[in-house]
């Protein structure tokens, strides 16, 4: 029997917060647990304390995960961020309409809330890549996953008043935002963003987005797939680029909001982070070149086609296809 599953589920709501944790319950988790109308699922791993528990939270231990009827469980590596997908599937099984993706070291501001999946402003850049942080601050800073040859790009951003359907909203994080190890090793400073109006990114401008403070609309839940054969510092970034392209193909865009959380970052070895990011630094532009060749609208077929192509250019390993197929099979059961 699952240890805590179903115990705290709110039958009247269909919004879920998914978090992985290898630490004792954090301040951030406590703050999120007080958000009304949201169900919290925490996915454990082998490094998670054996006695992990928190009132108001559904915790899926490694033992619990094995008892779930998901094909993907036995294929996912342990001590890897991709195991978070078990939480996504669990939320889908319970009828989720919105899934919020975050980490346990993010702490929500009082005004944290889910935006409506519609934008009234669009942002565009002259080049193929867009540094969204430039819209929210004059500081020299860039999001993890932006190609390194773009970090000093001084191209202007253009904002227009246009209405667009938004598939995913990425909120920013203050204090220690999602930047790469190079930024932290060189600058090591706190960043606090301005509260600009929400904005969506115009089709054709690729902008990295992560899993730190991210709202996903039900239509695009299958795109939450986290590749298992890349490093944990690349997995959500690679997912984001692929998702952005497929979302464009389905007449929607991704959007960004100002800071709605701040991060008290868990302890990291920055040189270890750097090593795990090398494949990201070297691979992003190749991935985008590949994505530009795909216009398939069907989400499942698009994912299969793109990942097969990425196997061919060695951006993911061949066994990624088995994991992806299992994910899509599981999603089909629970995502209507």
Residue 183 · residue 281 · CB < 8 Å: no
Domains of the chain: which residue ranges?
Answer: 15-334
Residues sharing a CB contact under 8 Å with residue 314, sequence separation 6 or more, in sequence order: none
Residue 267, helix vs strand vs coil: coil
Residue with tokens 């970034």: 237
What pLDDT is stored for residue 9 in this prediction?
45
pLDDT by position in tens, the chain (length 336): 333 333 344 445 599 999 999 999 999 999 999 999 999 999 999 999 999 999 989 999 999 999 999 999 999 999 999 999 999 999 999 999 999 999 999 999 999 999 999 999 999 998 899 999 999 999 999 999 999 999 999 888 999 999 999 999 999 999 999 999 999 999 989 999 999 999 999 999 999 999 999 999 999 999 999 999 999 999 999 999 999 999 999 999 999 999 999 998 878 899 999 999 999 999 999 999 999 999 999 999 999 999 999 999 999 999 999 999 999 999 999 987
Q: β-strand 98-102 against 213-217: which pairing, if any?
A: antiparallel
Closest CA to 103 of 155, 173, 167: 173
Beta partners for residue 102, in sequence order: 213
What pLDDT is stored for residue 7 in this prediction?
37
CATH class of 15-334: alpha beta
Residue 184 · residue 265 · CB < 8 Å: no
Residue 39 · residue 8 · CB < 8 Å: yes
pTM recorded for the entire structure:
0.94
Beta partners for residue 100, in sequence order: 17, 215
DSSP 143-174: -TTS-GGGTT--PPEEEEEEEEEEEEEEEEEE
What's the Rg (C-alpha) of the chain? 19
| Neighbour-count burial for 275-313, b at 16+ CB within 10 Å, e otherwise | ebbebbbebbbebbebbeeeebeebbebbbebbebbbee
């Amino acid at each position: 029997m699952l240890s805590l599953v179903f115990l705290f589920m709110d039958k009247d709501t269909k919004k879920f917060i998914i978090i992985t944790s290898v630490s004792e319950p954090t301040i951030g988790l406590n703050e999120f647990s007080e958000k009304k109308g949201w169900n919290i699922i925490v996915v454990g791993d082998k490094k998670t304390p054996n006695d992990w528990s928190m009132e108001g939270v559904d915790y899926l231990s490694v033992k619990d995960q094995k008892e779930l009827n998901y094909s993907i469980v036995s294929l996912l590596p342990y001590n890897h961020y991709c195991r978070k997908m078990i939480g996504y599937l669990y939320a889908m099984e319970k009828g989720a309409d919105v899934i919020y993706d975050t980490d346990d070291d993010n702490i929500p501001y009082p005004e944290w809330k889910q935006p409506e999946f519609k934008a009234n402003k669009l942002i565009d850049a002259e080049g193929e890549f867009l540094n969204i942080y430039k819209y929210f601050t004059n500081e020299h800073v860039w999001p993890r996953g932006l190609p390194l040859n773009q970090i000093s790009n001084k191209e202007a951003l253009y904002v227009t008043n246009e209405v667009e359907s938004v598939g995913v909203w990425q909120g920013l994080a203050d204090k220690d935002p999602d930047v790469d190890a190079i930024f932290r090793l060189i600058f090591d400073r706190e960043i606090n963003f301005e509260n600009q109006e929400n904005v969506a990114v115009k089709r054709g401008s690729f902008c990295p987005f992560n899993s730190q403070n991210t709202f996903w609309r039900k239509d695009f839940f299958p795109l939450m797939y986290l590749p298992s054969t890349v490093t944990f510092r690349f997995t959500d970034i690679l997912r984001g680029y692929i998702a952005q392209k497929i979302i464009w193909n389905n007449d929607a865009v991704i959007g960004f909001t100002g800071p709605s959380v701040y991060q008290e970052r868990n302890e990291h070895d920055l040189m270890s982070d750097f090593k795990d990011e090398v494949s990201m630094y070297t691979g992003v532009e190749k991935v985008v070149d590949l994505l530009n060749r795909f216009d398939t609208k069907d989400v499942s077929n698009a994912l299969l086609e793109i990942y097969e192509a990425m196997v061919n250019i060695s951006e993911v390993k061949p066994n990624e296809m088995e994991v992806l197929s299992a994910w899509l099979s599981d999603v089909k059961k629970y995502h209507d």
